[in-house]
Every structure is written in structure tokens, then in C-alpha cells.
Structure 1
Amino acid sequence: MHPINLNEPATTRPTLAESLSFTCQLGECRSELLPLLSEVSKVVSGEGSLSKTLKLVLELMQKHLQVTRAMISLYDASCDQIFIHESFGLTKDEIEKGVYYPGEGITGKVVETRQPIIVPVIADEPLFLNRTGSWDKTVDCRLSFICVPIMRGMKVMGTIGVERLYNNRQLLYLDLEVLAIIATTIAQAVELHLLERAHKQVLQAQSARLDKELKEKFKPANIIGNSKAMQSVYRMIDKVSHARTTVLILGESGVGKERVASAIHYNSSCGGGPFVKFNCASLPESVIESELFGHEKGAFTGAAARRAGRFEEADGGTIFLDEVGELSLSAQAKLLRVIQERCFERLGSNESIKVNVRILAATHCDLTAMVAKGTFREDLFYRLNVFPITIPPLRERGNDILILAEHFNAWFAKEQQADVPAISTPALNLMLNYDWPGNVRELENMMERAVLLAEEGVIHSYHLPAALQPAVLGELGEQSGLEARLSMMEYELIVEALARFQGNMSRAAAQLGLTRRMLGLRMAKYQLNYKDYRCGD
């Protein structure tokens, strides 16, 4: 194998600038090299997924460098493998075969040594493995191979490799310089992609582990989350589902009380019966009794015909009374009788109607305090509070926030017929550090907005509402222009580095190409504390 210098002194090789001055003397005119590099820079700085960006880069290389084959490979440190991410001139089967370990073949050697390699004649190089099977000895015997590393600082993230016929060694060196510049140009985009990939792998591994732990336990299919707080809720649902006990579901607005009621109904013996939902706060007091218990024709102005109420509709199944704390005292009295006797009268009738119905109620109110004030009947409270289940707020559910965010991300991307965007680490950190006063409902609404804004295929921290942003970013978010956008991007890169190195400022600074003092000044600007990124802190 021939290293980059081919046993020649470095001073004998022309620089890129020198080569550009006499490219037409090399047997092939390269007057389009500067336009090539300019176009590559524009493609990388534009919006789009990494795959889309690299495909465009390869197309430009084919157009300007006339390569026979080209491939951009990425190094996945989690499995210590190098795989082809995008290519030109390779079939799908050939791409799938192109997997290497560091040190294996020329591509693996470039990753291992972090140095570029030139093979003037592939046929003469025993370390050229032809793992993809794309190289034909009879047709491609005179082709050369150039492979350069994609680097960020001292970290190697992949390689660019090209095959083509060269009749001039100086032209070979010229293209090596060009490929090295292209590798530097795409390095940041590649690094962000690998960080997102690693983050998703961690989430998937965590989810798989928790799913395995829960597979022998009851877990409703309609509720997402594996936190300890939610596992306690699942156990309560499992215990009460198969009984006919009245259940009072407690929790802040937006925590998913209706989903818990649904899980109890569909896992109960009356799951095949109707599941009737009624929001006690959605209608004025004057019509609530009619809605719940029905009315006879002529019972009041506008009652043109007999109408069955929600309790009659729920006969043989379950009725879910949401926001039961909003009922008037007169409606509470009638509800108490239904719970005690399972019978009631329609408005305008003296005929008692008996029903076989299970009652589930929910509220975000403090019913104990309401009983003390006299705004909620004490006897009704005790009838409802037979089996209370308290749903924890989202802020107490830990990594369920990330799992729910990924769920809503995929859901809304599918609904909008778009590719599922990645969620950047800074955006996830903001979600984890937010109090979520609107709970799951607020997270759902936020993700719908973020998916719409993520035109470049990534949900960044600046795509989230101002309420989630630190004060300094909230101010930037209200501004427009290049400086504000660059500051937001700088914030994201600093958070990515701190998260990756678990708050180690020296390593984060080195990765960002800054001194520790410079990093400290930028962290102060964005009100960041390295302690927030330490494991266990």
C-alpha cells in the first residue's frame, strides 16, 4: 500500500493553488475546481438531510472530477464499523457489502491512521479488498483509488473514496487536495448526523430494555411511557379493570386522564359495551342534567322529542365523567342517586330507569378542599373516591418526555407526509428541563409545531416555543437576521459538546476548537453550567 507521499518529499508535490495555475498542462483541464468547491459549500450550508446533502456532493464530484465510482462512508463508534452512507456507481447490494472495521482494507486503514491514502494502481494493491464486489479486474485494472478521512478536530467520522483513471501523478495529488477540502466542508454535517444517530440508538436501547422488563407486566396499549411513576399507575389500572368499582382519576390538566379511563374500560368485563364520555365543564348548568339523564318531549322549551341521556347510552358499558368537580350541587345530588341505586328519571318524567353502568370520574380539582368549602358534596366525594388513581404530571416522568416526544414526532411527520425529523440534543435538553404545566397535551401541541418548522430535517432548540428557551435564547428568538441565527447555532453546538463529554469543559473546548477560557465565556453568554451535564447530577 502506498501512503500519501508515495516516498517523495512533500516539497515535490504541487499545492492546490500551484496545480490550478497549470491544470490544463496535466493532460486534463481542471478550470472548474473552484466552482466545484463553491457549489459543495453552498449545498452543505443549505437545508436538507445528510443523505440528500451527500447525494448532491457526489453528483458534483461526478460532474467535475469524472470519477468512475465514489463513496462516502461513516464510522459508527458504537459498533466500531465503517459503512457506506451514500455512493455513486454502486448498486444497493454492493453498498450493503461495503462494511469495514478500523484497520481493515484501505478504508479501514484511513479511519485507523486518520491519514489519506493514494493507490495509484488498484490492481497492484493487495490491501484493496473489493468488499463491495464493484471492481472488475478486466475492466478496471488501471483505475486509481483515493481515500481521505472526514475529520473534526482529532476525531475521524468517516471517509471519502473515489476510483478513476489517472494518467498524471500530479493530477492524482490535485484531486487528493480537492477531496480533503470537500471532507472538511462536510465534516460538521456528518458529525451532527452521527450524534443524532447515537442518541437514537441510546433511546432505542433504553426503550427495548424497559419493554423487556414490562413484557410480563400489564401495560395499556393506549398509554406511552415506562417511568416508575407510570408503572405504578399501570399496576392500579390492572387491579381495578376487572372489577366494577367506581374509580376517581386525579391529576393536572393534560396528563391523560381520559386515556386511563379508556384503558380501564377496554380491559374490563364490560369492554365490549359502550364507552360514553362526558365533559361536565363543557356545557352550561341549565342543560347538563338533560344531557346526563335525558328528557321527555315538552319537558322544557325546545324539547321537541324524547331524548336519551348519557347514562342510558352507557347502559351495559362505562360512562366517563370528566371534570366532575365542575358539576352544580343539584346535578351532584342526582349523580349520587345514580351511583347508589343505578337508577334515575328523565327530566319531565316520573318513570325510573335502571341502568347497568360502570362509573369512572376524573378531575384536576382538589375535591377535599371543595368539600371543606361546601362546593362539592361530601357524600358524593366518598362515593366517587372508592378507588382513586393519581396520574403523575409530565415533569415527574423523567425520560417519558423523550419517548413521548419521539412518538409525537413520528405521528405528526406521518400525518404531514414528511420524513421523520431528528430531534437535536439541545432541543431534548430543553424538553427535559421544562416544567410542562400543560403536561402531555402541551408536549403534543409543541411537537406538531416543531415538525412543521423542521424544514432541514432536524428539530433544533430554536424551533421550540419561547417558554422552553433560556431567557437569553428567548430574546434571540424574537430577533431576525444572521447574528441571531448564528448565536442559536453556537448555543446548540456548545450544548452538544457538553452533553457528549458529560460536562468536561476541557474536552468540550477541544472538540469545538476553543480554549477552555473561550468556552467559559460563551457558556456564560448562554447561561450554561457544566454541572448540568454531569452524569448523576
Structure 2
Amino acid sequence: MTTQYPLPSAVDRRAQRVSLICPDRSQGEKLPVAEPIHLASTPSCECDFGECRTQVLPLLYEMSRLVAEAGDLQTTLTILLQLMKRHMKLIRGAVSLYDRDSGKIFIHESFGLSPDEVARGVYRLGEGITGRVVETGQAMVVPCIGDEPNFLNRTDSRGDLAQTRLSFVCVPIRRGRKIMGAISAERIYENRQLLDLDARIMTILAATLAQSVELYLVEHVQTVALQAENRRLRGALKEKFKPSNIIGHSKPMQEVYNLIEKVTRSKTTVLILGESGVGKELVASAIHYHGLNSTGPFIKFNCAALPETVIESELFGHEKGSFTGATAQRKGRFEEAHGGTIFIDEVGELSLSMQAKLLRVLQERTFERVGGNTPIQVDIRILAATNRNLIDMVEKGTFREDLYYRLNVFPITIPPLRDRGNDIIALADHFVTRFSQEMGVGVNRISTPAINMLLCYDWPGNVRELENVIERAIILAEDGVIHAYNLPPSLQTPVVSDASDVGSLEAKLNAVEYEMIVDVLKATHGNTTEAARQLGLTRRILGLRMAKYDLDRKVFR
């Protein structure tokens, strides 16, 4: 049988103090106002419990003093359990804490349990007596654990439960409505009144500990959880930005992967070159998350996104009052990147004055905030990127030659999409899968004519343009397939659009007809008789249509 106790009210707690001091005094009888309470001595009294509990008063005094003076919860709990063992004659005792993030209740400190038994003593809300106490916030008393079906004996420390006469007391550690754990104790009780009294004593001890436990959970358990989550996210980013995860197996990209792998072994400054939309930021991320500074921050800054008057403050930070609106000190991107990596995109857009200041950071890793004169030293790796031809800019005097050579320590040039061959198809398939999942539509392939259009296009916008084209096509696709007529007019092949203006009804009909003929010829391996039958045409009409689109049946064999 299990007994639940609600937490005592203020009146109840005062009554408990009276009964603890003099158990022979009735609870309704008031103590004289001037009657002293000698906590250091053990007054003699007689009661029918079989054991006297006035010796617990020093325990309560010691606990209140420990909580007020000690800053270490571990030490406080160790002393608490030792005092409980000595004064309450316990066989086993434990303090369990509740980790809300994982949903687990684990033994934090105990006596009478081996390390293996402690490791097994993990519960979830509602599991066993401990789980129910933390879930409900109500103390529970089990006079005989052998008769209690809800007693799980998860630590496996009690042998055959049916043969044991042990009693079990578990009280919540509670602060307001927040339950943070539980205190549990075991021993053999011959007197039920003594068992109930000890449950109330433990409730007082739990209330004394509540604030210390709450602070410990905030400072340690939750901090550890946040650190673990931080490590998990960093691991996920490292996996996401592996060079092997960058889509593309063409020879130019294999050379890029080799360079990334080599440069991650050092903190060398890297200059990433390439047209707009080729994926320079993706390469920068791969270098950081697999480099020596991967545990530090990764700060990105686009020089073209802000006016020149703001760039200096953004990069170097500013002191309070350094200019109108500077109401507080602010760290810049270089300072935020300390211990990690800063990625400066569109570095070719910087003015000559800003280039001079960037040069000093590259040389000395030192700078001052705007309006300040205190040098700030940073440990950072600098990655820069641009789609401009810096050599031409140096010749024209718009980019500092010394800065160019400082940045150009280890250049990586990313090839444009038009030079990557079949990487176009691999990227298109990746975007189809991604956008299909995001939009919840069942598009799963690209038709052959549409693939031909993708391969024939020049892609001035590179990977970014391909991504936008596929997203548009996913929206327009209606039968689970991206057809040629789902692609934008700029991709329509000349053979389809010669007869009329791109975007007209005739052009779209030609695109559909061309795609249908190509698909059937591919399916029939160039058998024009079978292809004509499937299309509902005569061989002569099919031949005319094939001549119109310059199709050769031998190509499909």
C-alpha cells in the first residue's frame, strides 16, 4: 500500500516544528513566546514511536547552515545523506534530479548503492514511485516495498522484493510549481507513526534544498545540455559541409575538392574566385568546418550589402559616442570571429581606404574600434571571395596591389556551371528532390527534352540560376515530371522556338510535340514504326515531324 502526502501548508510546517521539538506536546498547544530553543543540545523526551526524533533538530540546523554557506551542491548533498543515515538510521538514501530536456530522472548523489546500481537508477515521469513523485509533486510512503506493485527496483539493489520488509519514502524537491527532483530513503520501520514523521522531516529537508538544486540545474545540467546540443549542431554542420557533399563530380570540381582538403590543414588566408552564383560561400563553409578553427565562430560579411560609411563600423566595431547614434560600445565582425573564421564576400567592392585598413588586419591581426585607440588582437582565419578580376583592378588602380598579394596566398577558382558538364543534371536532380519535399509535391524526374535544354543553356547565373529554374518548374509541373515546356522561355531550344516567338502558343505546342516525339523514340529505341503507332501517326507524318526538329532515329537506337 502506498500513501501520498500533500505538501504541508505554512500552518502544518509550524505544527511540525512544534512536534519535532517536543513530541509529547499536542499540536494545538502553543509554545510560550519567550521559550528558547536550544538546537545544539538534544533534549530528553518520551514518545511511543520506538525512537526519539529530537536529535533530528541538529540535522535541520546543519542543513540550513550548509545551504546558506556552501556553494557546492555536491558537498551539501553528501553531508545531507550522511546526516540522514546517522540520525534517521537509513539503509539507503538518494537524491535524484530531473533533467527536463532529456525527460530523465537520474540519481545525482546516494549512499548504500554501487556505481552500477546508480547508473541503472534512471526513470521517466510516471515510472515507478520516484517517477510518480516527480510527476505529481506529492510525497509517497511505501510501508513495505514487497507489497507495492509500482515499486520497480530498477537499481536491482534489494534482491527478492517479496522477502524484504523495507519501507520506502520519496518526497519531491519542489520550488513553487517546479519539481526538480526527489529525495528517497529506505529502512525497516516497526512503527507507522515514525515512518510518517520521517516522511515529513524529509519534506522539510527537500524544501531547504530546493533553491540550491534549482541553481545547480541551471548552471550545470542545462549548461551541459546546451553544450551537447552545440556539439551536435557543429557535427551536423561539419557533415553537411564536407567537400564530398558538394554536388558535382566533374574534373574541374575534383580539383577544387583537392585544394579544399589541403588548405584545411592550416590557417592560411584563402581567396575564393568565381562568377556570381557558383557557390563561393559553400566552399568557404567547407574550409571552416573542416579546418583548425572549426570549433570557433564562422562570421560572414558581404561588402556589397552595405554602404561604405557603415562597413567600417560593421567590420571593426565602434566605441560609445564615436558618432551620432553610437549609444553603446559594439563589437565588429573581426572581434566576433575571434578564435574562428571570417568570410569577407565581394572583397573587390571595398573602397581604397577600407582596403588599407583590411591590409593591416591581414598583416598584424590587430585593429582599433571606430572612435577608439586601444589595439585589439584577434586570432582569426580570413577567407575572402570576389567575382571581380582583381588583377585588372590592380592595373587600373582600383584595388591595392599589396592587399591583392596578401589575399592571394592560396587562391581557389570555382568553375562556372557551363564548364561542369553533367554536374548540371546532378544539381538539377538535387534541387528537384529538395523542392519536392519542401512543397509537398510528387515531382520525381526530369524529362529527356528538358534535360537537353538544361545541358544546352549557357547558365550566366550559374548554380543560383539553376536552383531558381528548378523551383519554378516544380511549381508548374502537373504530372510528376518536369517537361521542357515547364522551363522558362530563356531555356527553350532554337529548334523548338524558330517557327515563332518564344512564349507564344505555337512555341509551347512545338515544345510539347518535340518532347513527346523524343520520349517515344527513346522508349522504342528509334523504331519509327512503333513510335508512329504509339503517337497515333503514320510513318510519313512522323518522318516530317522528325525532320522539322532535326531528329535522327539512329541516335535513339
TM-score, structure 2 length as denominator? 0.53
Letter in 2 for 1:478: G
Tell me which of 494, 508, 511 is aligned to 1:488.
511
Name the SS of the counterpart of 2:330 in structure 1.
coil
Question: Which protein, 1 or 2, shows the higher relative CO under an 8 Å CA cutoff with sep ≥ 6?
Answer: 1
**Stretch moving more, 499-508 or 383-392:** 499-508
Structure 1 residues 505 and 238: alpha-carbon distance in aligned structure 2, compared to 1, 3 A threshold? farther
Structure 1 residues 357 and 501: alpha-carbon distance in aligned structure 2, compared to 1, 3 A threshold? farther
Name the SS of the counterpart of 1:249 in structure 2.
strand
Contact 2:443–2:482 (8 Å) recurs in 1: no
How far apart in 1 are the matches of 2:343 and 2:509? 51
Name the SS of the counterpart of 1:375 in structure 2.
coil
Tell me what 1:396 maps to: 419
Matched, 1:354 2:377: yes
Q: Cα distance, 1:478 vs. partner?
A: 2.3
Q: Cα distance, 1:489 vs. partner?
A: 2.4
Tell me which of 269, 287, 293 is aligned to 1:270.
293
Structure 1 residues 503 and 421: alpha-carbon distance in aligned structure 2, compared to 1, 3 A threshold? same
How far apart in 2 are the matches of 1:507 and 1:252? 47
Tell me which of 450, 462, 469 is aligned to 1:427.
450
How far apart in 1 are the matches of 2:296 and 2:524? 55
Matched, 1:370 2:393: yes
Matched, 1:230 2:238: no
How far apart in 2 are the matches of 1:304 and 1:219? 42
Matched, 1:305 2:328: yes
Name the SS of the counterpart of 1:444 in structure 2.
helix
Structure 1 residues 340 and 517: alpha-carbon distance in aligned structure 2, compared to 1, 3 A threshold? farther
Q: Cα distance, 1:417 vs. partner?
A: 1.4
Matched, 1:408 2:431: yes
Q: Cα distance, 1:506 vs. partner?
A: 8.7
Contact 1:246–1:360 (8 Å) recurs in 2: yes
Contact 1:233–1:389 (8 Å) recurs in 2: yes
Q: Deviations along 1:154-180, whole A, 9 cap, x unmatched?
A: xxxxxxxxxxxxxxxxxxxxxxxxxxx
Structure 1 residues 524 and 329: alpha-carbon distance in aligned structure 2, compared to 1, 3 A threshold? farther
Matched, 1:444 2:504: no
In the alignment of these two chains, the number of paired residues is 315
Structure 1 residues 531 and 308: alpha-carbon distance in aligned structure 2, compared to 1, 3 A threshold? farther
Matched, 1:279 2:279: no
Q: Cα distance, 1:519 vs. partner?
A: 4.3
Contact 2:528–2:553 (8 Å) recurs in 1: no
Letter in 1 for 2:425: L
Structure 1 residues 476 and 353: alpha-carbon distance in aligned structure 2, compared to 1, 3 A threshold? same
How far apart in 1 are the matches of 2:264 and 2:513? 51
Tell me what 1:470 maps to: 493
Tell me what 1:326 maps to: 349
Tell me what 2:403 maps to: 380
Tell me what 1:461 maps to: 484
Name the SS of the counterpart of 2:275 in structure 1.
coil
Contact 2:273–2:413 (8 Å) recurs in 1: yes
How far apart in 1 are the matches of 2:415 and 2:513? 35
How far apart in 2 are the matches of 1:388 and 1:224? 21
Q: Cα distance, 1:496 vs. partner?
A: 2.5
Q: Which has the larger radius of gyration?
A: 2
Tell me what 2:8 maps to: none
How far apart in 1 are the matches of 2:348 and 2:297? 24
Letter in 2 for 1:317: G
How far apart in 1 are the matches of 2:380 and 2:524? 57
Q: Deviations along 1:435-478, whole A, 9 cap, x unmatched?
A: 11101100111111111111221111000011110246454762
How far apart in 1 are the matches of 2:371 and 2:554? 64
Contact 2:521–2:553 (8 Å) recurs in 1: no
How far apart in 1 are the matches of 2:526 and 2:416? 28
Q: Cα distance, 1:276 vs. partner?
A: 0.4
Q: Cα distance, 1:363 vs. partner?
A: 0.6
How far apart in 2 are the matches of 1:441 and 1:435? 13
Q: Cα distance, 1:525 vs. partner?
A: 3.4
Name the SS of the counterpart of 1:362 in structure 2.
strand
Name the SS of the counterpart of 1:487 in structure 2.
helix
Tell me which of 254, 258, 264 is aligned to 2:277.
254
Structure 2 spans left out of the alignment, 5+ residues: 1-240
The alignment yields a C-alpha RMSD, in angstroms, of: 2.7
Matched, 1:418 2:469: no
How far apart in 1 are the matches of 2:261 and 2:507? 51
Contact 1:421–1:451 (8 Å) recurs in 2: no
Contact 1:247–1:389 (8 Å) recurs in 2: yes
Q: Cα distance, 1:420 vs. partner?
A: 3.1
What's the % identity of the aligned pairs? 66
How far apart in 2 are the matches of 1:244 and 1:377? 23
Letter in 2 for 1:256: G
